[in-house]
Amino acid sequence: MQITGEMLIGQRAVRGSAGSLRAVNPALEAEMEPAFGLATTADVELACTLAEQAFDVYRNIDLEKRAVFLETIADRIMAIGPALIERATQESGLPVARLEGERGRTCNQLRLFAKVVRDGYFLDATLDSALPERTPPRPDLRLQKIGLGPVVVFGASNFPLAFSVAGGDTASSLAAGCPVIVKAHSAHPGTSELVGRAVQQAARDCGMPEGVFSMIFGDGRNVGQALVSNPAIKAVGFTGSRQGGVALMKTAASRHEPIPVYAEMSSVNPVFMLPGALQQGGAGLAQAFVDSLTLGVGQFCTNPGLVLGLAGGEFDQFVGDAVAALAGKGAGTMLTPGIHKAYTGGIERLDGIDGVTLLGRGKAEGAGCAAQAAIYLCEAQAYLANAALGDEIFGPASLFVRCRDEAELLQVARHVEGQLTATVHATSSDRELAANLLPVLERKAGRILFNGFPTGVEVAHAMVHGGPFPATSDSRTTSVGASAIDRFLRPVCYQNVPADLLPPALQDANPLHLARLVDGELRVSK
C-alpha cells in the first residue's frame, strides 16, 4: 500500500488543494515525503454530505454485518503489515514494540466493539405492555437506542493507532451505527492514510454505504471548526489538549443545534502513597513509579504527574529511591517538536516557582526532541495556594506534594480538579485513611486504582477512561471500553407502532435474542 498524500472521502481518493503539510520525523527533526494536500471547504462539505446520506442506510444494516465490518477493519489493518509500523515509528518517534502493541490494542478494540454490537446490550431494548383495561388505557411502549448521526473524530498525537483514524472513538461510533469523518492528526499523516485506506477497503469489502467513513487532512483549526460547525455532524470525539478541547466545546455549544463533544483533555492523575504501602514497597515501589512516569516518554493521558504523601521517614525514603531510579532513565524522543517545546517550557515554568524544588532528573540527551524526565517537590500549603501547580505538563514530569498530616492530604485531594484516574497505594495498616480518601476520589476521577500505576488502560467492559472536567468535557461517559458506545446513542420510544413496522430489536419474537427489560423485569434471552 502506497502513501500518496490523498484524503479519503467516501470511496474516493481526493488530493486536498488548500495547501499541504508534511510529517516530521521527531528523532531527526526532518520533514518526510510525501506532501499531504489539505481539505478545502468543499472537501469538508462533501465528506459531511456523504456521511449524512450514509447514516440511514448504515444504521439500519444488520447488527451482524455491522460487527463483521468492524472485524474486517481490524483484518485490513493487520494486512498492511510492517509498512504501517515502520511509518508510524518514523512519524511518532515511538519504538517498534510499542507500536506493535498499540496495533494489537487497536484491533482488539475493533473486535470488542464487534462483540458489543452482537450482544446488543447497547440498544437498551425495553418493552412495556399495553394495558387496555386500565383507566386511562396504557399504550404499548417500546424503546431502543439509535445512533446520533455522523460523528467527527479528531486523531490524537499520542496514540497514532489506538486513538487515531481507527481508534476507540471511530470504533465506538461505527459500532453505534454512526458514520465517521476523521480529521487526521498532522503529526502522523502517513500512518493515518495507511489506516484510512484499510477502513475504506473494509467498507468496500463489506458493501457499506459510501459515506460511512472519510478521512481528511487540515492545517490549523479551520478544518476542525468547519467540521464541528457542519449541521450534518451530530457528535464529536477528541483527545488532545485542554485548550483544543475547550475550543471545540465552545464551537459545538454555539451551533444553532448544539451537539455533544467528548473531549478527553487534561489530567495529572494523583497518586496517594500512604505510609504503610511505602514501608512495605521499598525501593521496588519507587522503581515502579519511575517506570510508569517515563513509559512512552510520559506521553500518556494517565501519566502520574502528581504524587502525594505524608511528611515522614517513609515518604523521604520513597523520594530518595525515586530520584535514584530516575537518574538511570534515558531521555526518549517525544512525538513532535511542538510537544517537546511545550514540555521544556513546562519544566522551565516549574523551575521558576517559589516553593517548588527540583528533586532530580533523568539522563540528558542531545538528540532532537528528547525529553529529560524530572521530579519536583513542594509542600501542600504551597500547592493549595497556587492553582498553576495543578496544570498538566505533558511528558515525564511529576510533582511530589508533601502533606503535614492526613487532614492536609484529604484537603489536597478535595482541591484537585477532575481527573482520569486517582491511585492509592495502601496496605491494611493504611485502611482508615484509604477509606476516607475513597469517597473524595470517587468525585474526582473516572477510575480509582489501588496498588498500581495509572498508565495502562485496559480495553474492557468495566473500564472508565473519563472523569470530571477538565479530564474530559463530559464525566457521564468513557472513551475506552465497551461503554464508549453509549456516547453516540439516543433513545427512541415506539408507541403503538404496528408490528410489521417495529425494528427487529423490539419485535415480540425477539429475533435478535436480546436481553430486554419487559414490564420492568430484565429478561435474558438464550
Per CB under 8 A, the list member of 79, 83, 96, 253 interacting with its own copies is 253
Choices 26-34, 213-221, 322-330, 490-498; region in contact with its own copies by CB under 8 A:
490-498
Stretch of 223-231, 254-262, 325-333, 346-354 lying at the interface with its own copies (CB under 8 A) = 254-262
Helix axes 63-80, 189-205, angle to 10 degrees: 140
Contact between 464 and its own copies by CB under 8 A: the answer reads yes
Q: Is 521 helix (H, G, I), strand (E, B) or coil?
A: strand
326 contacts its own copies (rule: CB under 8 A): no
Q: Smallest gap, in angstroms, from Cβ of residue 458 to its own copies?
A: 6
- What contacts 254, CB < 8 A, 6 or more positions away? none
Between residues 324 and 515, which has the closer beta carbon with respect to its own copies? 515
DSSP string, 417-475: --EEEEEEE--GGGHHHHHHHHHHHHHHEEEEEESS-S-----STT-----TTTTBS-T
| Among the residue ranges 9-17, 63-71, 342-350, 454-462, the one whose residues contact its own copies (CB under 8 A) | 454-462
Q: Does 221 bind its own copies (CB under 8 A)?
A: no
Residue found under cell 487497536: 106
Closest approach, Cβ 274 to its own copies, in A, equals 12
The answer to the question of residue 450 lying near its own copies (CB under 8 A) is: yes
> Is 264 designated active site?
yes
Indicate which residue of 6, 264, 314, 408 is catalytic: 264
Q: Report, in Å, the least distance between residue 460 CB and its own copies.
A: 4
Q: Show contacts with its own copies in window 161-220 (CB under 8 A).
A: none
- Residues 100-119 contacting its own copies, CB under 8 A: 115, 119
What is the distance, to the nearest Å, from the Cα of residue 317 to the centroid of all Cα atoms in its chain? 35
Q: Residue 85 has which C-alpha cell? A: 509500523
Query: Under a CB-based contact definition with an 8 Å cutoff, are residues 198 and 106 in contact?
Result: no
Per-residue mark of binding to its own copies, 133-152 (x: CB under 8 A): ---x-xx-xxx--x-xx---
Residues 416-445: x where in contact with its own copies by CB under 8 A, - otherwise, as a string? --x-------x----x--xx--xx--xx-x
The reply on whether position 405 binds its own copies by CB under 8 A is no
Cβ–Cβ < 8 Å for 318, 282? no
Indicate which residue of 301, 369, 378, 403 is catalytic.
301
DSSP string, 95-124: -HHHHHHHHHHHHHHHHHHHHHHHH-GGG-
Cβ atoms of residues 233 and 227 within 8 Å: yes
Q: Are strands 357-361 and 374-379 parallel, antiparallel or unpaired?
A: antiparallel
When asked if residue 258 is in the footprint of its own copies (CB under 8 A), the reply is yes
According to the binding rule CB under 8 A, does residue 348 interact with its own copies? Answer: no
- Measured from the CB atom, is 244 or 468 closer to its own copies? 468
Smallest distance, its own copies to C-beta of residue 484, A: 11
- Which of 192, 299, 302, 473 binds its own copies (CB under 8 A)? It is 473
- The residue within the footprint of its own copies, chosen from 204, 341, 462, 513 (CB under 8 A), is 462
Stretch of residues binding its own copies (CB under 8 A), selected from 40-48, 197-205, 358-366, 518-526: 518-526
Shortest distance, CB of residue 360 to its own copies, whole angstroms? 27
Q: Among residue numbers 42 through 101, which ones bind its own copies (CB under 8 A)? A: 56, 60
Among positions 244, 338, 346, 452, the unique one binding its own copies when judged by CB under 8 A: 452
- Nearest CA among 308, 511, 314 for reference residue 423: 308
What's CA 372's distance to the chain center, in Å?
A: 25
**Of 426, 438, 400, 182, the residue nearest 305 (C-alpha):** 400
The yes or no reply on residue 456 touching its own copies (CB under 8 A) is yes
- Tell me how far apart the alpha carbons of residues 391 and 376 are, in angstroms, rounded to a whole number: 14
Using the rule CB under 8 A, which residue among 106, 126, 173, 230 binds its own copies?
126
State whether residue 322 is helix, strand or coil: helix
Nearer to its own copies, 385 or 462 (CB): 462
Count residues binding its own copies (CB under 8 A): 78
Q: Which is nearer to its own copies, 189 or 237 (CB)?
A: 237
Smallest distance from its own copies to CB 115, Å: 7
Residue 76 CB burial class (10 angstroms; 0-12, 13-18, ≥19)? buried
Is 257 a binding residue for its own copies by CB under 8 A? The answer is: yes
Give the β-pairing of 374-379 and 397-403: parallel
CA 380 to mean position of chain CA atoms: 30
Region from 159-167, 169-177, 373-381, 494-502 binding its own copies, contact rule CB under 8 A: 494-502
Q: Is the peptide bond before 136 cis (omega within 30 degrees of 0)?
A: yes
- The answer to whether 401 and 376 are in contact (CB under 8 A) is no
Find the binder of its own copies among 478, 479, 485, 505 (CB under 8 A): 478
Largest CA-CA distance found in the chain, in angstroms, rounded: 82
CA dihedral 203, 204, 207, 213 (to 10 degrees): 30
Active-site residue, 301 included:
yes
Known catalytic residues are 264, 301
